[in-house]
Structure 1
Amino acid sequence: MRLILGSSSPRRQDILKQINIDFTVRKPHVDETQIKTTNPIEKVSALSKLKAENIPFESTDDIIVTADTVVSYNNIIFEKPKSREEAFTMMRALSGQTHEVHTGVLIRSKDKQTSFVETTQVTFYPLTEEEITRYIDTEEPYDKAGAYGIQGLAAPFIKKINGDYYNVVGLPIGRLMQELKSFSHKGRDLS
């Protein structure tokens, strides 16, 4: 089997490298605005499917994995902030609250396809305006759903999580590896 990661996310790549998995990156080129749903679970499911459909098979051994992650609070999706003001608004909303991080994952081979959504609850400590301002003055919030990176400078904001930490980073690796077991064939796997 040859694992193809359909994502340009350096965080997803780092997670796979951390567990010593060989993979190739192929970035899907899709218009994410065509997915109109405001339901966070439906959105990540639809986006991971759209990305997977955009990556052609190059070999019968290809296993394509695509993913999409959103943060939601009170059922409102917080995507990557487009401005400093938007980042500030998101961080202020998450301050002292519990929100959800949803990652939709789709796995497909030539003859099989499966998908799932992993959800993790994240609780922030209350944040001062000064803490938020200092954080959004860095580059970190702007390429991350919900305007924060749990694995980076926002780590001190996290009071607790309920669920998979790696899901919050962007790839629920434990669940992914369990699902990939059913894609092994002829005694070959990804290791």
Structure 2
Amino acid sequence: MLREKLANYNIILASGSPRRQNFFKQLDVPFTIQLKEVEEIYPDHLKAAEITDYLADLKSKAFTELSENDLLITSDTIVWFEGKAIGKPKDKEDAFQMLTSMSGKKHYVYTSVSIKSKNFQTVFHDETMVEFSTLTTEEINYYLEKHQPYDKAGSYGIQDWIGLIGVNKLQGSYFNVMGLPVHKLYKELIKIAT
């Protein structure tokens, strides 16, 4: 359905994330991947979704020349826990600390998406609350050894083993936690296509 509606657009997904790329395939949206190095630094005063909105927009600014029918999609995800943004872990020790601190508690996952053309831009985000059950040291170590989630915000992928055994409660979109609020993206793309 989207494929036909977006036939006149050249959709560029600026993300190396296999999960995001897979969502686009599942939506049956034709796309190409273009990656540009961006230093993901944001002003200290930003909080929660303000951070991801800023970074999704920042990533879009790396693409200075868009053609008339280009639609550039950039995205960013953070975990927000106890008033702080938690990004990707530096190493195994850092990942262990993150998961230990979030064990038995709630955190929020924010993902922002920027859709940009030569003539317009829209940035939107979604919020999901995730509550972990109490995780044992053994469970955390097993997860880190087996899945090595060092490329993921908050040191975990909800679709991994830890999501199966460790998520007590979820409020909001599951896919948002995986890195893309697909339901919102779909609605935005439909708006653009009509």
Structure 1 length as normaliser, TM-score?
A: 0.91
Give the C-alpha shift of residue 58 in structure 1. Answer: 4.6
Show the counterpart of 2:139: 131
Cα offset for 1:42? 1.8
Q: Alpha-carbon deviations, 1:24-71, whole Å to 9, x = none?
A: 1111211113x2335222211111001111124453111111000000
**Structure 2 residue aligned with 1:146:** 154
3-state secondary structure, aligned to 2:161: coil
In structure 2, what is the equivalent of residue 36 of structure 1? 43
Cα distance in structure 1, aligned partners of 2:139 and 2:121: 44
Matched, 1:169 2:171: no
**Letter of the structure 2 residue corresponding to residue 36 of structure 1:** P
Distance 2:20 2:51 in 1: 19
Give the Cα separation in 2 of the matches to 1:138 and 1:80. 17
AA aligned opposite 2:172: G
- Which consecutive residues of structure 1, in runs of 5 or more, have no partner in the other structure? 186-191
Q: Which of residues 81, 102, 105 is equivalent to 2:89? A: 81
**Pairs aligned (count):** 184
Larger displacement relative to structure 2 (165-174 or 176-185): 176-185
Given that 1:140 and 1:153 are in contact with CA atoms closer than 8 Å, whether structure 2 keeps it comes out as no
Q: Percent identity?
A: 40
Contact residue 66 and residue 118 of structure 2 kept, 8 A? no
Q: Is the Cα contact below 8 Å between 1:122 and 1:158 reproduced in 2?
A: yes
Matched, 1:102 2:94: no
* SS of residue paired to 1:114: strand
Which blocks of at least 5 consecutive residues in structure 2 are unaligned? Answer: 1-8
Q: Which stretches of structure 1, 4 residues or longer, exceed 4 Å deviation after superposition? A: none
1:95 maps to a residue whose letter is S
SS in 1 for 2:71: strand
User: Partner amino acid for 1:99?
Assistant: H
Matched residue SS, 2:63? coil
1:179 partner SS: helix
Normalising to structure 2: TM-score of the pair? 0.89
